[in-house]
Structure 1
């Protein structure tokens, strides 16, 4: 199992975060990566060429990028690609930390904790510089979170491979029409057995998990893009805008309009990743 990223806090020179929506056919680079960076992909798709090697990333995943490599980003040709990022400048980078970085997977499913850290950094960066101690601490926490998430996923896979397979499939196909039978077939289990597994390990049912996941993704789109409510409902697997409106109010206690009105990120988008 992968180790823990470890380097002195004083080695963290700065941390930064941003959010951007690329139009269909967008691209970025080539550039030489300067920082350790997490790129969180929400919509569209992203093909990253790293030193000539292609890495295909689907929505719902976070990518770990390492300094010193030439990177080119090519985004979806048919739809907008929205992603956010956290970059952390560590200098000098201890040899043990470099070894750990290259042991970690290149991308992982997005987690609620990753999103919360990104939200917090984006909010704070409106008022403090990127070399502020609190911002640097949050950037360091994001780097520590990646191996923690790796361990959690590996443990889930080792103990409950069927559950892991279903969760991964939901994260990648949540916009499609999905039934309990579909999920059970993916797991190779009966519907009843899959429901028992979810109740034991996720404290919910497979379909409730699916609808919660759809609502969470929809909230992210509401607060970070200018897509219409109808388009968001369609992209996140809701049958109608009214269905989406009822469910978001039921699960979140707020309407879609209230989420959109509370967002102040749309006019402060920054490029991915930054040139430093």
Structure 2
């Protein structure tokens, strides 16, 4: 068991559920009292989650941890749709030790591909009909145990050269905008040549290759889980044209954008809840 996490087991987990929803501009949700341990993943737009009077601003590409017994309210972007997914896990009778361990975890982390995969699997099982309760609960438990490991991973990232950490944060927040190596280096305070060397050392790729891979990953997520057109997704993810997006998605995944949408899209506008 990862340190800093309660010793949760499947037999104590009474329920687990995943969902996906897009809120139109200016939407609000709550207040409510959280009943579960919930991981909320933001993919587009923005949201401010106020927990017991304390606001937390969340940008796309991040996951937040919500804990039971606290009052929450959500305010979403006024300018664009805000799309998020979630995994909620319910335990009866959390101990004081459990609550203390949850409170030691960070409220917000970068969203990993592993966490994406878990929510994908939970939603797919639900869509396919009649999933076993144990299957869904097991995936919910896996997500709950992944979060502290992602926390440790984020701490290790902080041990990288500060310019790499700054570049990753800048890419994750600005990938939709036009971005050159020179501009990225300027934002991190390193020379372009030095930034390339640091990326090769810490990320085993170049800054610009990382940028385009990140754009492709975000585009695939939008193709899979939204009804946006390919042109709209291209504009949101920093591609010059829809043809440019389609070519890079095909080169990276081996599948066309049409194939990805046909195989995976399932009516992303879920029930009006978080």
TM-score (norm 1): 0.93
Secondary structure of 1:244's aligned partner: helix
Q: Which residue pairs with 1:32 in the alignment?
A: 33
Kindly report the root-mean-square deviation, in angstroms, between the aligned alpha carbons of the 2 structures. Answer: 1.7
Within-5 A mapping of 1:148-187: 148-187=149-188
Within-5 A mapping of 1:196-275: 196-266=197-267, 269-273=270-274
Q: Which residue pairs with 2:54 in the alignment?
A: 53
Structure 1 residue 5, shift from structure 2 partner: 3.3
Structure 1 pair 267/102, CA: closer, same or farther in 2 (3 Å)? closer
Structure 1 residue 263, shift from structure 2 partner: 2.2
Confirm or deny: 8 A CA contact 1:7 1:93 kept in the other structure: no
Question: Structure 2: 5+ residue runs without aligned partners?
Answer: none
Structure 1 residue 268, shift from structure 2 partner: 6.7
Structure 1 pair 183/265, CA: closer, same or farther in 2 (3 Å)? same
Query: Which stretches of structure 1, 4 residues or longer, exceed 6 Å deviation after superposition?
Result: none
Question: Structure 1: 5+ residue runs without aligned partners?
Answer: none
Q: Which residue pairs with 1:101 in the alignment?
A: 102
Q: Which residue pairs with 1:146 in the alignment?
A: 147
TM-score (norm 2): 0.94
The number of equivalent residue pairs is 272
Per-residue Cα deviation, 1:174-193 (whole angstroms, up to 9, x for no partner): 11111111222233222222
Cα distance in 2 between the residues matched to 1:21 and 1:257: 22
Structure 1 pair 47/8, CA: closer, same or farther in 2 (3 Å)? same
Confirm or deny: 8 A CA contact 2:223 2:265 kept in the other structure: no
Structure 1 residue 262, shift from structure 2 partner: 1.2
Structure 1 residue 269, shift from structure 2 partner: 2.1
Within-5 A mapping of 1:110-125: 110-125=111-126
